[in-house]
Amino acid sequence: MHLIQSATFKLTLWYLGIIMLLSILFSFALYRLSYDQMSTNAVRQINAVERLPLPPEFQAQRDSYVQSLVDQLNSGLHKLIYRLVLLDLATFLIGGGGSYLLARHTLQPVEDAMEAQGRFTADASHELRTPLTAMRTEIEVALRDKQLTATEARSLLASNLEEVNKLEALARGLLRLARAENTLDPAALETVSVRGIMAEAASRFQTELADKKMILDVEVGSEYVSGDKAGLIELVCILIDNAIKYSPEGSRIAVRSSLAGNSVAVSISDQGVGIKAADLPHIFSRFYRADRSRSKDKVDGYGLGLSIAKRIVDLHRGTIAVESTPGEGSTFRIKLPA
C-alpha cells in the first residue's frame, strides 16, 4: 500500500497547493483594495488639513497632525498584513487537513480495487496450487515405489487426470471472469429473444439432466432483451448448471419469464439444498463457496460462476437477486432491460 500512501501525499500537496494559491491571490487582492482605499482616505485628509489657512504658529501642530495620519495609515497597513498572514496560515493548516481527507476520499475506490485485486490473485494462486500439490505428492510417492505395478500407475494417471481437469476448469473460469470484466462490446449488442436463450441453454444440459433424472421445465413468453447473446446464454447456463449441481436426483427446475414495466424478469427455481441466510450476501463474490466443509455429496466448483453471472448482469444494467430456503430450494431472479 506504499503506492497509495505516496499517491495520497502527492494529491494532498496538489490540493493544498491549489487552495494556498487561491488564498494568497485573495489576500493580495484584499490588500490592494484596502491599501487603495486607506491611502486615498489618508491623502484626502492630509490635503484637507494642508489647505486649512492656519497662522504660522500652528504650522508645527499641523505637521505633527499630518505625521500622525501617516503613522495611522502605516500601522493600519501593518495590521492588515498581519491579519492576512494569519488568515493564510489558518488556511494552510485547515486546508492541509481538508486536503488530506479529500485525497484519501478520492483514492479510496482505487485502494479498494487494489485490495480486491490482491485478494483475487492470492485466492486464484491458492486454488491453482491445491490440485498441483495433490498431483505432485502422488507422483513423488509413486516414483519412490520400486514395485509400482501397471494397475497402480494407471490409477495414478487417472487421479492426475482428474486434477488436470480441475485445473482446466479453473483456468476456464478465470478466463471467463476476465472476459466478463471487460465492458460490453456495443457492436455485439443485439435484440435477443428470451425463448431463444433458454432453448440454447437447455440444449447444453441434456446429458446432465438425464443423468440426474431431473426435469427442466421452461415456460417463457415472447420477451426480448437487448444484449450480448453469448453473454446472456452463459448467464443462464451458470444458473442452470448450479441448479443441477445443488439439487437431488429426480427434482425439477422451473424457468419462467415475464414483462415487468421496462424490464424482463426471469426466474430460475430449483428444489435443491438451498443456501443458508449467512451465505446469501457472499455467494456473488469471487471464490466464495457456501459450506466448503460439507464433505459428503461434495460438489466441484471454484465459486466463480455466480461472480461471472453478476458481472454479466451488471454489464447489461440489470439486477440479480436470490431467495432461498435451506432444504427446500433456491430461486434466482434476473431483471434485464427489455
User: Cβ(212)–Cβ(247) under 8 Å?
Assistant: yes
To 10 degrees, the CA torsion angle through 211, 215, 219, 220? -30
User: Cβ(104)–Cβ(5) under 8 Å?
Assistant: no
Using the rule CB under 6 A, which residue among 227, 231, 272, 318 binds ligand ADP? 272
Query: Given the complex with ligand ADP, which of 205 and 246 has the nearer CB atom?
Result: 246
Q: Which of these ranges, 14-22, 183-191, 208-216, 281-289, lies near ligand ADP under the rule CB under 6 A?
A: 281-289
- The distance in angstroms from the start CA to the end CA of the chain is 43
Using the rule CB under 6 A, which residue among 275, 313, 315, 336 binds ligand ADP? 275
Q: Which of these ranges, 47-55, 77-85, 154-162, 267-275, lies near ligand ADP under the rule CB under 6 A?
A: 267-275
Cell of 11: 494529491
Neighbours of 287 (CB within 10 A): 17
Query: Given the complex with ligand ADP, which of 2 and 292 has the nearer CB atom?
Result: 292
C-beta nearest to ligand ADP: residue: 301
Neighbours of 124 (CB within 10 A): 19
Using the rule CB under 6 A, which residue among 180, 194, 266, 290 binds ligand ADP? 290
Determine if 127 is a binding residue for ligand ADP (CB under 6 A): no
Write out the H or E segment, with its range, that includes residue 92.
helix 59-144
Q: Which of these ranges, 117-125, 200-208, 219-227, 266-274, lies near ligand ADP under the rule CB under 6 A?
A: 266-274
Q: Which of these ranges, 30-38, 59-67, 155-163, 284-292, lies near ligand ADP under the rule CB under 6 A?
A: 284-292
Count residues near ligand ADP (CB under 6 A).
21
Query: Given the complex with ligand ADP, which of 110 and 171 has the nearer CB atom?
Result: 171
The residue among 221, 314, 233, 229 whose CA lies nearest residue 259 is 221
Neighbours of 265 (CB within 10 A): 19
Residue holding cell 498441483?
Answer: 132
User: Cβ(238)–Cβ(305) under 8 Å?
Assistant: yes
Residues in region 295-334 near ligand ADP by CB under 6 A: 301-307, 330
Write out the H or E segment, with its range, that includes residue 331.
strand 329-337
Using the rule CB under 6 A, which residue among 197, 283, 320, 334 binds ligand ADP? 283
Determine if 269 is a binding residue for ligand ADP (CB under 6 A): no
| Least distance from ligand ADP to the Cβ atom of residue 23, Å | 53
Residues in region 193-252 near ligand ADP by CB under 6 A: 242-243, 246
CA-to-CA dists, residue 109 to 101, 112, 138, 157, 287, angstroms: 14, 5, 44, 47, 21
| Least distance from ligand ADP to the Cβ atom of residue 290, Å | 3
| Least distance from ligand ADP to the Cβ atom of residue 330, Å | 4
Query: Given the complex with ligand ADP, which of 16 and 243 has the nearer CB atom?
Result: 243
| Least distance from ligand ADP to the Cβ atom of residue 325, Å | 11
CA-to-CA dists, residue 125 to 137, 139, 167, 306, 322, angstroms: 18, 21, 11, 19, 29
Query: Given the complex with ligand ADP, which of 10 and 276 has the nearer CB atom?
Result: 276
Please give the Cα distance from 62 to 31 (Å, whole number): 29
Cell of 209: 439432466
Query: Given the complex with ligand ADP, which of 17 and 281 has the nearer CB atom?
Result: 281
User: Cβ(241)–Cβ(305) under 8 Å?
Assistant: yes
Determine if 289 is a binding residue for ligand ADP (CB under 6 A): yes
- Give residues in contact with ligand ADP (CB under 6 A): 242-243, 246, 270, 272-275, 283, 288-291, 301-307, 330
